[in-house]
Amino acid sequence: MRKPPGDAVPERDRYPDALRAGALLVVVLGHWLATLPRLEEGRLVATDHLLVVWQEAGVFTWLVQVVPLFVFVSAAVSTPGARRRLSDGHRQLHWWAGRALALARPAVTYLAVLAVVAVLSHTLGGRFLAPFNHSLTIHLWFLLMLLGVQALLPLSVRADRRLGLRAVVLLVAVAALVDLLRARPGSLADLLRLGALATDHATLLGWINLLVVWLLPQQLGIAWRLGRFSGTGTGLALIALGLVWLGATVASGYPLAMVDGEVGGRSNLLPPTLALVGVMWLQVGMVLACEAPARRLLGRRPIRRAVTLLGALSMPLYLWHKFAELPAAWLGERLGAPIDAGLPGEAGFWWGRLVWLLLCLLMVTPVMAAVVAFEMRRRRDMASATAGRAVVGGGIALFAGILTSMALGALPGALVGLLGVAAASRLLRASPQPSR
């Protein structure tokens, strides 16, 4: 991230690209690994989640819950432009509209195809769709969270300008206060059980942390980009802080897992808790500690090319990777593959997980080829310089469409949600030029 001398055009920094691409790849492989198809008499009847049947696997989510890392890196990359746009609200609105449109358009394609498949599957009995119905849309939450925090990027940049790293401390303090108010400890002994008490109280107050906790990696990313912290030593210190933080919070009763195996139980994600902050320390520390060797690797042309390719495919892969589980399950059933290998600890369980991963990789390949070919033929529409009401309307339609899809699953969620996301794509693309 060094600035070149004079007026030279800076070479693209591949390290953030590699981090973002790697983060999304980890998410994809993690989702596939966590899906446990269940067969009876050789026929698919249901799916389990790995964390539901093996709660101790939650410790692995300390590394594979990489959404904070993606927000951190995205903020770092976007900071210079955000600083230039601070005094121009129209430019900021146009930038966000462009980001929203870039996510809305491929989401329209995904929901349209999913809606057609869901209707056809339901017509034919829905046996393969039913076990995957909600998992085919629930992963779209990431798009909403990312757009939500990016809409507040100017606020985060202003906070960094005025407070520096104190803005990070302030966010952590607010997150801690919210969990304290959720827990309502009445004694020192209750404080030692903070996690258990906080996650046992499903109050509306806890949802404040849906904003506060996800703003934290954005604030850290801005500070990193502006050079407020750096270096291998700082990275190792943050890794140590993260491990101690996670150990202490889990010991106080917060769940071990940093993702949810099922909706409705005790959670570090819905809403985010103080425990999730430990993952952020850990991952930011790893970014700093690995920076020097990673940059040396990225100096090699084959590595740079691989990062460029993976970066171009990462968001389409994220959108479509769950869809590939449908044909993977069908093929596994037809081949009699051991995709249902029982429970962790039983013979063949991990062999079954490997077979399932290979089937998912096999089936996602033609899906991605078709998606990339289609997207490359589409007209490259851009958000215009935007009328504010059109952007607000487009944003509301996008959030409503994706939330509906998440809540209702592939059927009928994809059908209903498609209307909102398609409307958002049109509003963000066709918004008129403001008069000057």
DSSP states of 101-134 as a string?
HHHHHHHHHHHHHHHHHHHHHHHTT-TTTGGGTT
Tell me the C-alpha distance between 100 and 153, whole Å: 14
Q: Does any domain span residue 188?
A: yes
pLDDT at 383: 54
Q: Please state, in angstroms and rounded to a whole number, the distance separating the CA atoms of residues 132 and 326.
A: 8
pLDDT band at 5 (very low <50, low <70, confident <90, very high): very low
Least reliable range by pLDDT among 17-26, 113-122, 375-384: 375-384
1 inside domain:
no
Query: Which tokens in the block code for residue 291?
Result: 């920076």
Domains in the chain, number: 1
pLDDT computed for residue 88 by the predictor: 74
Q: Rounded to an integer, what distance in angstroms lies between the CA atom of residue 307 and that of residue 359?
A: 24
Q: How far apart are alpha carbons 153 and 150 in whole angstroms? A: 5
What 3-state DSSP class applies to 344? coil
Q: Is residue 57 part of a domain?
A: yes
* The pLDDT value given to residue 388: 77
Tell me which residue of 336, 358, 359, 340 sits closest to 348, measured CA to CA.
340
In the prediction, which pLDDT does 261 show? 62
* pLDDT band with cut points at 50, 70 and 90 for residue 311: confident
| Residue 431 contacts residue 384 (beta carbons within 8 Å) | yes
Question: How far apart, in whole angstroms, are the C-alpha atoms of residue 213 and residue 228?
Answer: 20
Q: How confident is the model at residue 24 (pLDDT cuts 50, 70, 90)?
A: confident
Q: How far is it, in rounded angstroms, from Cα 360 to Cα 329?
A: 8
The pLDDT score that the predictor gives to residue 286 is 97
Percent of the chain scoring above 90 in pLDDT: 69
Structural contact between residues 269 and 258, judged by C-beta atoms closer than 8 angstroms: yes
How confident is residue 192, by pLDDT bands cut at 50, 70 and 90?
A: very high
How far is residue 87 from each of residues 29, 158, 433, measured CA to CA in Å? 41, 11, 19
5, part of any domain: no
The token pair at 74 is: 């995205």
Burial 122-139 (b: 16+ CB within 10 A, else e): eeeebebbbbbbbbbbbb
pLDDT at position 327 over 90: yes
DSSP 345: T
Mean pLDDT of 17-45: 92
Residue 269 vs residues 34, 146, 246, 272: alpha-carbon distances, Å: 17, 15, 14, 4
Sequence length of the chain is: 436
Q: Residue 116: is its pLDDT beyond 60?
A: yes
> Residue 8 falls within a domain, yes or no?
no
Poorest-confidence range of 223-237, 249-263, 422-436? 422-436
Q: CA quadruple 70, 75, 80, 81: dihedral positive or negative? A: positive
User: Is pLDDT at 434 greater than 80 in this prediction?
Assistant: no
Name which residue leads in pLDDT, 2 or 352.
Answer: 352
The SS3 assignment for 321 reads coil
CA distance 338 to 350: 10
Structural domain of 384: 14-430
Instruction: Place 290 in a pLDDT band, splitting at 50, 70 and 90.
Output: very high
Q: How far is CA 163 from CA 140, 144, 152, 298, in A?
A: 33, 27, 16, 34
Per-residue pLDDT at 430 exceeds 70: no
The Cα–Cα gap between 410 and 272 comes to 25
Residue 2 covered by a domain: no
Radius of gyration of the chain (CA): 22
Considering the chain, what is the average pLDDT of its residues?
89
Cβ–Cβ < 8 Å for 415, 115: yes
In a domain, 292, yes or no: yes
The pLDDT of residue 2 is above 60: no
Q: Is the confidence at residue 386, as pLDDT, over 80? A: no
Distance from CA of residue 357 to its chain's centroid? Answer: 20
Is 355:401 a contact under the CB 8 Å cutoff? no
Question: 338 preceded by cis ω (within 30°)?
Answer: no
